[in-house]
């Protein structure tokens, strides 16, 4: 599958099931409209629209523009809720314990795990990158993601690798979405080839660490 097909393939929505606060019909209708708006934003981005407008979201959600802004103050608040929902779905996969017996095994496992994760969230992540430099919320979210990855690596890598700033930085950057996007989008590699490319790099870094 090449990167262009990401914008056209229909995938099962990763959004959690709608949770309503009570059995009151009005609350349920309000909750459904809010969820429709969030899912509409997700679908537009999945189809390749990286900067969807409020009008486009309203049209896709099949609600009026006034309804959109009755539920959300502005587009930024829609992106914030979408990000929070996405985190609720994906974070369990991010923090799940690695099964590898050695730190080398865990690194290779992390390459595969991140490849699957990044592929699932590819359109949303690209859209969030575009907006990140105009949003304090998204900038903060990005910094938290960096800390989570860094903390995970420090949790199982040998002390000598963590203390080697150049080697640690190389390992870290090989596991970021930015690197995955470069392979999938800029170099137009398949998922399999992108994953194998990351493994080639990681094996070289592991070999360097073993020699050192």
Classify residue 123: in a domain, yes or no.
Answer: yes
Distance CA 67, CA 1 (A): 37
- Helices then strands, counting H and E runs in the chain, come out as 11, 0
* Same-domain pairing of 135 and 188: yes
Handedness of CA 194, 87, 82, 30 (dihedral sign): positive
Total number of domains in the chain: 2
Range of the domain at 114: 89-211
Classify residue 84: in a domain, yes or no.
Answer: no
Residue 153's pLDDT is 96
- Among residues 53, 75, 97, the one where a domain terminates is 75
* Burial bucket for residue 169 (CB in 10 Å: 0-12, 13-18, 19+): exposed
Q: What is the pLDDT along the chain (212 residues), one digit of tens a residue?
A: 344 333 334 445 444 443 434 444 434 444 778 888 988 888 888 887 888 899 999 999 999 999 998 899 888 888 888 888 888 878 888 889 999 999 999 999 999 999 999 998 888 888 888 888 888 888 998 899 999 999 999 999 999 999 999 999 999 999 999 999 999 999 999 999 999 999 999 999 999 987 76
* Same-domain pairing of 71 and 93: no
* Burial bucket for residue 145 (CB in 10 Å: 0-12, 13-18, 19+): middle
pTM value? 0.76
């Amino acid at each position: 599958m090449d990167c262009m097909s990401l914008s056209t393939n229909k995938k099962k929505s990763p959004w959690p099931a709608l949770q309503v606060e009570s059995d009151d019909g009005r609350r349920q209708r309000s909750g459904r409209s809010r969820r429709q708006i969030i899912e509409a934003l997700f679908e537009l981005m999945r189809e390749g629209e990286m900067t969807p407008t409020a009008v486009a979201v309203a049209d896709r959600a099949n609600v009026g523009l006034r309804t959109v802004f009755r539920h959300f103050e502005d587009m930024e608040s829609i992106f914030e809720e979408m990000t929070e929902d996405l985190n609720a779905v994906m974070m369990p996969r991010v923090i799940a314990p690695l099964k590898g017996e050695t730190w080398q095994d865990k690194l290779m496992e992390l390459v595969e795990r991140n490849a699957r994760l990044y592929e699932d969230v590819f359109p949303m992540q690209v859209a969030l990158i575009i907006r990140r430099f105009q949003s304090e919320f998204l900038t903060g979210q990005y910094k938290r993601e960096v800390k989570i990855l860094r903390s995970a690596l420090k949790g199982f890598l040998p002390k000598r690798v963590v203390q080697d700033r150049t080697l640690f930085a190389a390992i870290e950057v090989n596991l970021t979405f930015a690197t995955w996007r470069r392979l999938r989008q800029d170099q137009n590699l398949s998922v399999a080839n992108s994953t194998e490319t990351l493994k080639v790099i990681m094996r070289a870094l592991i070999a360097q660490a073993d020699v050192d």
